[in-house]
Amino acid sequence: MKRILLAGILGGLGLFVWGGLSHMVLGLGEVGVRGLPQQQAVLDTLRASTPEAGFYYFPQPDSAMKLPADQIGGPHGILIFHPTGATLAMGGMLTKECILNIVQALILAFLLSLAPGLSGYMSRVGFVVLIGVLAGITTNVEYWIWYDFPSKYTAGIVSDRIIGFLIVGVVAAALVKPVAAKMQVVTAKAA
């Protein structure tokens, strides 16, 4: 249990540092993201027309999932809107991200401890990376499919997730061995 906890904390901190590097130095998390042209005019219109915070998509289809003829082929997109509260208070967001990364790494270390047959270091790293592939494509590719997220953004954020989980895997695989592998070592020593 101590090794799982240590792997989770160290792996989570590694994932957090990677996230900082990938976003702030490499720009991997912002590939395909741009600022809104004529931002002030758009914000003024949103303030006047959208008083409630929420997740919006447009154009909105009718109950039969059909668009009005005049909206077919026109602009489309999604908007996460908050009419108040804009801030650049990064401290709270970074703290939450660090806690999230540690929780993710703890879960990965726990799953790794339960994976029988992964006695080799590289197989344990590969197991965690495979979970990273799943984590990377699960929501991000769905957003690419359903909300038309930019392909560059999707590729960048999926890559960011896989590399992050590789870092967790390198740490966790060094510290955590599956229960079955530990039992084989104990049995071999006893014989």
Residue 160's domain comprises 2-31+89-190
As a whole number of angstroms, the distance between CA 10 and CA 127 comes to 18
- Residue 83 within a domain: no
- Report the pLDDT averaged over residues 32-46: 88
Q: Which residues of 100-123 are buried (b: 16+ CB within 10 A; e: fewer)?
A: ebbebbbebbbbbbebeebeeeee
- pLDDT at residue 188, as a whole number: 52
Residue 33's pLDDT band (cuts 50, 70, 90): confident
- Residue 60 within a domain: no
As a whole number of angstroms, the distance between CA 141 and CA 102 comes to 24
- Residue 12 within a domain: yes
Q: Does 182 have pLDDT greater than 60?
A: no
- Residue 152 within a domain: yes
- Residue 61 within a domain: no
Q: Does 167 have pLDDT greater than 90?
A: yes
Residue 189's pLDDT band (cuts 50, 70, 90): low
Task: Name the domain count of the chain.
Answer: 1
- pLDDT at residue 73, as a whole number: 86
Residue at 124: amino acid letter: R
Report CA-CA distances (Å) from 181 to 115, 156, 178, 184, 188: 9, 36, 5, 5, 11
- Residue 109 within a domain: yes
As a whole number of angstroms, the distance between CA 15 and CA 56 comes to 31
What would the pLDDT profile of 54-108 be if each residue is shown by its tens digit?
Answer: 998 888 888 888 888 888 888 888 888 888 887 878 888 999 999 999 999 999 9
- Residue 157 within a domain: yes
- pLDDT at residue 89, as a whole number: 80
- Residue 81 within a domain: no
Contact 109, 172 (CB under 8 A): yes
Contact 22, 187 (CB under 8 A): no
Q: Does 181 have pLDDT greater than 50?
A: no
